[in-house]
Chain A
């Protein structure tokens, strides 16, 4: 990584930390650990299933919220506050700025998720008293959640490269919801006819496929996640994110920053 890219990445991370974004994870960890014994009392025999579902879903939702709400301001805030002027008057390429901002937010999300993961496993230990081999599947689910963050952050950054923060948030969140149900969209395309089939198939290809990245229910029931799916999801997420970032760069390269 070149030094300018590294500097922008670390500064973006530092901004998130100093804006106390990561404080939410302390709250999350404390709440989850503190409420763990309650799950045992309210759901006889199902406490592990519930805590896995609640814990992993919370990690995902917290991360998506952070990705969208910090992501929409990554570029627009720099333009609005004119901090970008002094950045672009340096030997910084516009693609370095966009990529650095993206990586900085990803770093924030990964650190956030790492802390939440520790909180989740502590809560799990409180409930189950010991770990078993299939609990490693939870790590795969968390890895897939991180891959979702890669894509959501890239999509948010893409929208914020040409749209206002509010619209960027709406577009990104809408695309996240549609992507979560992308399997249904594919099924609909398969049973449709004529023009509807074409449109539904096109939409199914364009929207991010978040449904294959959501394996929370499977791991909660102790199902094994195939290596092939891990490989496919990794390649897919990286390619999709790279395409979204490349598009954001192309738009930003042509933009007059008033």
Chain B
């Protein structure tokens, strides 16, 4: 059974004074996330990531389509007992302390008072907030609030957690801690669906990612595959700098150390380069493909339409 199936969810808003012109926030989206996966939902700001999450959480209603979470219709209130959600830049009741807030959310999830008493101190410890005691949340830093946010999302041991930009606004240390926490969740078998525009986080954590841009799904796949799909260049190393003037137009990123030359060549120009190097009697030491990063994939899938339009 899939943890999440998005079956053509779409959202458009009526804008303008007479509300006659529709603005498409999300085109029909089809997506499946398997159980136990860490799935990254990537896209620049305004791509439709938060809209998708809000629809899945029942905060806004889709214009069309539906979704199934853990095999149940996403509108089914009971399925929410098995879901955790952290909104983007969360804000909580600042007159409460962290234990009070977690107690409130745990009550809403139907946890008994015994369970709440047992779980809350352990969870605060786990998210790196031991001993916050009765300090009200209005005195918490952004990083501390983000940890409280993660804690409220997992207080009821959900089977799937949805996190909207969980690393946003955190310093490098805070980001690493949240990454470790997400890795822990994955190790426990929890499905994690998180949206981000910080690609290094997605690269480090995700099994699969989807790229969304301007409300449209632009690509989806296993992170390693997406990176290898992006092999567009090879690094060629040879001995004999005398050959350089003849091949320079084909190369980029040239580095010369004595007689050894390293340079990048596009896949299309590789054969021609090798031919010319042989003609110049240069000694080829190695040829290795250069794997693109997730960033390359992301950029190529979020800018191609703009380039084409231009």
Q: Which residues of A contact B (CB under 8 A)?
A: 3-4, 6-8, 11, 14-15, 18-19, 81-93, 254, 256-258
Contacts and interface: CB of A to CB of B under 8 A. Distances in A.
A6 B103 CA distance: 13
B110 A258 contact: no
Interface in B128-145: none
Nearest to B57: A89
Given A15-B95, A18-B95, A93 B77 contact: yes
26 contacts: A4-B107, A4-B108, A4-B110, A6-B107, A7-B107, A11-B93, A14-B95, A81-B91, A82-B87, A82-B89, A83-B93, A85-B57, A85-B85, A86-B85, A86-B86, A86-B90, A86-B105, A86-B149, A86-B152, A88-B57, A89-B59, A91-B109, A256-B59, A256-B61, A257-B54, A258-B60
Given A91-B109, A256-B60, A82 B93 contact: no
Nearest to A100: B108
Given A91-B108, A256-B61, A86 B80 contact: no
Interface string B45-89: 000000000100111110000000000000001101101111101
B20 to A, nearest CB: 18
Chain A interface main SS type: helix
A7 B58 CA distance: 20
B108 A84 contact: no
Contacts of B61: 254, 256
A72 to B, nearest CB: 18
A3 B58 CA distance: 21
A88 B95 contact: no
B135 to A, nearest CB: 14
Contacts of B87: 82, 85-86
For chain B, give the interface size range.
20 to 34
Given A4-B108, A7-B107, A91-B109, 15 more contacts: A6-B107, A7-B104, A7-B108, A11-B104, A81-B91, A85-B85, A85-B90, A86-B86, A86-B92, A86-B105, A86-B149, A86-B152, A91-B77, A92-B80, A257-B59
A16 to B, nearest CB: 10
Interface string B100-132: 000011011110000000000000000000000
Contacts of B105: 86, 90
Q: Which of A3, A6, A14, A89 has the most CB of B within 10 A?
A: A89
B57 A15 contact: no
A19 B94 CA distance: 10
A95 to B, nearest CB: 11
Given A85-B85, A256-B61, A90 B93 contact: no
Nearest to A94: B58
Contacts of B91: 81-83
Q: Which of B59, B81, B86, B149 has the most CB of A within 10 A?
A: B59
Nearest to A258: B60
A89 B58 contact: yes
B63 to A, nearest CB: 10
A91 B110 contact: yes
A83 B90 CA distance: 8
A11 B57 CA distance: 22
Contacts of A18: 95
A3 B104 CA distance: 11
